[in-house]
Amino acid sequence: MKRKAVIIIILAFLTVFSTVTVLVNHTEAAEEGDATEENQDQEENATDDQAEDVQQEDNQGNGEKAPPPDESKFEQVAENDNLILKADPETGHFIVDNKKTGKKLRSFPNPDGWNEGGTSDSWGVHLQSPFMFSYVEFDVRKDVVKESSFQSQGGTADFKKIENGFEITYDMPNVGFVIPIEVKLEKDYVETRILGDEISDEKEFAEDDDSKDPKSRLVSLRLFPFLGAETSKKENGYIVLPDGPGALIDFQKDRASTNNLYSERVYGDDWAFSSKADFSSRQSIKMPTFGIKSENQTFLGLIEEGDVYANIVSAPSETLTQYNWATAEHLFRFKFFQPTNRKKLEGYFTYSQEMQREDRSVRYYLIDGSDPTYVDMAERYREYLMEEEGLDRLEAKKNVSLQLSLIGGGTKKGFIRDSFLPLTTAEQAGQIVKELNTSGVEDMSIHYYGWQRGGYDKNGGHFPVAKKLGGNDDMKKFVDFVHSKGFTVYLDASSYTYNNTNKDGFRPNRDAIRDLSSTVIKNRSYRGEKFLVSPKFMEKTILQDMEKAKELEVDGYLYGDGIGSLLSTDYNNKYFVNRREAKELQEGIIDKTAEELGGVHLAWGNFYGLQNVQHLADMDDDYSYDLFVDRKIPFAQIALHGLISYSFQDGNMGGNMNHRLLQGIEYGALPSFILTHEESQKLMESISLRRYYSSNYKQWENEIAVQYQSYNEALADVQDQFIVDHHVVAKGVYETRYENGKRILVNYNKTPYSKDDIKIEAEDFIILEGGR
């Protein structure tokens, strides 16, 4: 009986407990549901807020089309031998009259197309405005930006003339922003400048004002975003974008409507804001340039000061407006993920509190000529590189130089420890060079990868040269042999960007790059996990190792995958550098390397620090294939040819080999291959070298010799010559012309091309005029 009573009591207790548990769980579920609903409400409100913000701009339009700026109000403020600058004191809009051509460059869209299309009232106001901007309200939604414009805010402007131009200060009391800018006229361009140090974006409230401050702060600004914008009424123009080698968006009347923009960061994304961020899948921008060709005026835009804090933004007609436009978007604050736990998995997105206070300047070069094209734009960029960046013309050479990459050693994954995997010893490297030379390759520049003590996959502790490759002694013998042939050797130094060995005194928590939330940045790629080294620590290590490289008498370093190609802010308190300082530091490393070793080659390189760069390897030869981008062009190659040599992806690494050869010849590139002495199967044992699936030099020796002769025949005598024309002859047929009159026509089609006296076999090229 007692036992039965005990059982009843226990059952009763369990029943009560389970009821309590259910109630608790139900309560928790309800709370979660409430939280979810609250989050949904917040998201819906956020969407509504954004819609309401746009709607407020629509209301300001009152359903009527905003008129274009009244050109009768413009006053002349500057003049030189070539140009006249006129400005509107009320808005700061300006017009540049070209005395030579009689054409006009307006800071606003061409009024002739103002009433075309179905642009919304809000975007109609944006079209009228001298600038658009975005801002965050830290006390409302710190992870969401709102977009507006000067006209939408109903601001005021204080205008005054200065030497060669004018200064205007925009005041927008609704958000509490004051934006001062300058516009100046120069010989063949007009320059716009945002005076970063003088920007104010903190609203002041009177003591008796009970209004809550939303803490609105400036995030980005597009100054004169529709400068030179044209409709597609006449299909005789295009936008030039720095996508890959260069890309064109043609003016098209019947283009499908979309809300997608082209928006990419100059010099690529910043890893200090990478945590949980969706980086772009497009190719990163290497050149701070853009442009528009139209019947009315052709211009080249070039971002000068503040290039490291800029996006290039563009859209074709029927994307939000009826106009084709391209502009620079200047960034002042940046979105990042702020973790709230030690594992860095939970947290929230917000924007950086501190503003990047630096001047932002853009030059707009007016391109002369009866019918200027992207070639004329690229030629003006070439002039800039020579006049402003100090690039000089190359010396003439008898033969083109094969860009030969050799993989010394990789890393073989072990059960207990990894081991060095030799693939091309220094002695074997000499053998490869000798055999290629004997087969007809008259000139070479060798890039030696995986030479460091731990091999290709080990970053840190580079010297001495790996013992299994022959050490420093055999490397010195190899360099001496190469020099006896008149060739050059560059050691790969891209690995200094990372560290995964803790050598060189590196400690991740002390010496690695940190993001704005103070999280150490790791890079996970085909080469495994590794830490990004703080730029100042990297600089110290490179300079310490420089003397060891000098003892080998190599001709220089090959940088890339970091120096010259990756720019990151470093929030490590011990080594802090902002993005501009990181760029200057990289330029200093390039200059010091050239001074100490003699030369620098750069892989995947951005267009800065080029004064002491002799060659650009792995240069982009294709674009990102956006739906609204119509075709690629050799804009970068036209700008560089005759100043710096360049090569594309190695000829034995995938794709259509003959197509790659033809494009190399069309674009004026040098041939490049990557080889090993060991059989290609050996690379399958390595951690990360499997992608070089066809690298054995014996398999490629004959093909390299044949391709080299084709390159030499086409390009040997124009290495120091500028490209002066490039155009489409017919579908799949292109012509490149050089200063000395040499013309190269390339036929990519699978059928022969024939017209008049010109005949080109299928998938082949011919040389006309000039040459030897």
DSSP string, 282-301: SPPB-S-EEEEE-SS--EEE
Return the residue matching tokens 């190695």: 650
CA 378 and chain centroid, separation? 17
Query: In the predicted model, what is the mean pLDDT of the chain?
Result: 89
DSSP-derived secondary structure letter, 330: E
Q: How many CB atoms lie within 10 A of CB 319?
A: 21
For residues 155 and 173, is the Cβ–Cβ distance under 8 A?
yes
- Owner of token pair 């819609």: 51
For residue range 690-721, list pLDDT tens digits in order: 888 899 999 999 999 999 999 999 999 999 99
- pLDDT confidence of 526, banded at 50, 70, 90? low
Cis ω for the linkage preceding 464 (within 30 of 0): yes
Q: With beta carbons less than 8 A apart as the criterion, state whether 503 and 461 touch.
A: yes
**What tokens were used for 165?**
């131009």
Give the CA distances from residue 660 to residues 161, 653, 669, 672, 721, in Å, rounded to whole numbers and listed in that order.
54, 10, 10, 11, 22
> What is the 3 state secondary structure string of 658-693?
HHHHHHHHHHCCECEEEEECCCHHHHHHECCHHHCC
Could you tell me if 205 and 301 are in contact, meaning their C-beta atoms sit under 8 angstroms apart? no
pLDDT of residue 206: 66
Distance, in Å, from the CA atom of 128 to the CA atom of 142, rounded to the nearest integer, reads: 29
Residues 275 and 346 sit within 8 Å (Cβ to Cβ) = no
What would the mean pLDDT of 47-61 be, rounded to a whole number? Answer: 35
Which residue's structure tokens are 């059960």?
Answer: 415
Q: For residue 662, is pLDDT > 50?
A: yes
- Helix (H) or strand (E) holding 213, with range, is none
User: For residue 656, how many other CB atoms are within 10 A of its CB?
Assistant: 11
- Structure-token pair, residue 751: 């059928």
pLDDT at residue 258 in the model: 75
Half-sphere exposure of 409 (CA within 13 A, CB side): 24
**Mapping DSSP to helix (H, G, I), strand (E, B) and coil, where does residue 280 land?**
coil
* Inter-residue contact 265 to 281 (CB < 8 Å): no
Rounded Cα distance, 226 and 612, in Å: 36
Report which DSSP code applies to 354.
S
Q: What span, in angstroms and rounded, lies between the C-alpha atoms of 58 and 56? A: 5
488 three-state secondary structure: strand
User: Residue 49 pLDDT more than 50?
Assistant: no
Q: Would you state the torsion angle of the CA atoms of residues 452, 457, 460, 462, taken in this order, to the nearest 10 degrees?
A: 0
673: pLDDT confidence band, cut at 50, 70 and 90?
very high
**Residue 331 and residue 356: Cα distance in Å, rounded?**
8
Q: What is the pLDDT of residues 367-376, one digit of tens each?
A: 998 899 999 9
Residue 551 has which token pair? 């003892």
Q: Is the pLDDT of residue 98 over 60?
A: yes
For domain 402-495+538-569+579-612+644-718, which architecture applies?
Answer: Alpha-Beta Barrel (3.20)
Please give the structure tokens belonging to residue 549.
């490289």
Within 140-264, where are the H helices?
150-153
Alpha carbons 468 and 458: distance in angstroms, whole number: 15
- Tokens 């969401």 -> residue: 144
- H/E stretch holding 39 reads helix 2-61
Structure tokens belonging to residue 401: 């130089």
| Confidence tier at 410 by pLDDT (50, 70, 90) | very high
Q: Looking at residue 266, what DSSP letter applies? A: B
Count of alpha carbons within 13 angstroms of residue 343, beta-carbon side: 2
Residue 224 pLDDT grade (very low, low, confident, very high; cuts 50, 70, 90) = very high
Label the pairing between strands 444-449 and 488-492.
Answer: parallel
Q: Looking at mean pLDDT, say which of 207-211, 622-626, 758-762 comes out highest.
A: 758-762
Diameter of the chain measured on Cα atoms? 117
**Amino acid at residue number 364:** Y
Q: What is the pLDDT of residue 233?
A: 87
Query: In CATH, what class is 62-387?
Result: mainly beta
Q: What are phi and psi of 532, to 5 degrees?
A: -75, 125
Q: Residue 504 has what DSSP assignment?
A: T
Whole-angstrom distance, CA of residue 337 vs CA of residue 432: 50
Kind and range of the H or E run holding 222? strand 216-223
Query: Do 421 and 463 meet the contact criterion of CB atoms below 8 Å apart?
Result: no
Give SS3 for 632: strand
Return the pLDDT at 56: 35
Amino acid at 355: M
DSSP string, 396-451: P-SS--EEEEEE-EEEE--SSS-EEEESS-HHHHHHHHHHHHHTT---EEEEEES-
The whole-angstrom separation of Cα 60 and Cα 209 is: 25
Instruction: Name the residue with higher pLDDT: 685 or 391.
Output: 391
Find tokens 């007809």 and name the residue. Answer: 440
Confidence of residue 401 (pLDDT cuts 50, 70, 90): very high
Same fold, 62-387 and 402-495+538-569+579-612+644-718: no
Backbone CA torsion sign across 69, 70, 71, 77: negative
Query: 116: pLDDT confidence band, cut at 50, 70 and 90?
Result: confident
Instruction: Summarize the confidence of residues 466-478 as an average pLDDT.
Output: 98
Residue 299 CA, chain-centre distance (Å), reads 21
DSSP summary character for residue 704: H
Can you give the pLDDT at residue 214? 92
> Distance between CA atoms of 695 and 683, rounded to whole angstroms?
9
Residue 772: the pLDDT is 41
Model confidence pLDDT, tens digit, residues 145-182? 999 999 999 999 999 999 999 999 999 999 999 999 99
Domain range list for the chain: 62-387, 402-495+538-569+579-612+644-718, 721-772
Judging by beta carbons within 10 Å of its beta carbon (0-12, 13-18, 19+), is residue 768 exposed, middle or buried? middle
Rounded Cα–Cα distance for residues 211 and 233 (Å): 49
Cβ pair 198, 168 in contact under 8 A: no
Residue with tokens 């509107």: 88
Query: Which residue type occupies 126?
Result: H
pLDDT for the residue numbered 6: 43
Three-state secondary structure call for residue 657: helix
- Tens of pLDDT along 573-617? 999 999 999 999 999 999 999 999 999 999 999 999 999 999 999
C-alpha closest to that of 364 among 303, 308, 421, 319: 303
Spatial distance between the Cα atoms of 145 and 220, rounded to a whole number of angstroms: 10
Report the percent of the chain where pLDDT is more than 70.
90
* Mean pLDDT along residues 511-526: 86
Q: Which residue has the higher pLDDT, 227 or 4?
A: 227
Whole-prediction pTM? 0.90
DSSP structural state of residue 516: T
Beta partners for 264?
A: 312
Predicted pLDDT at 22 = 31
Alpha-carbon distances, residue 599 vs 259, 342, 432, 513, 602 (angstroms): 46, 45, 23, 28, 10
Q: pLDDT band at 27, cuts 50/70/90?
A: very low
Residues 6+ apart with CB under 8 A from 393: 386, 642, 643, 720
- What are the two backbone dihedrals, phi and then psi, of residue 254, each rounded to the nearest 5 degrees? -105, 35
The DSSP symbol for 369 reads: S
- Give the count of alpha carbons within 13 A of 426, CB side only: 23
CB 661 within 8 A of CB 707: yes
pLDDT higher than 90, residue 626: no
Backbone angles phi, psi at 415, to 5 degrees: -70, -45
CA distance 201 to 2: 80
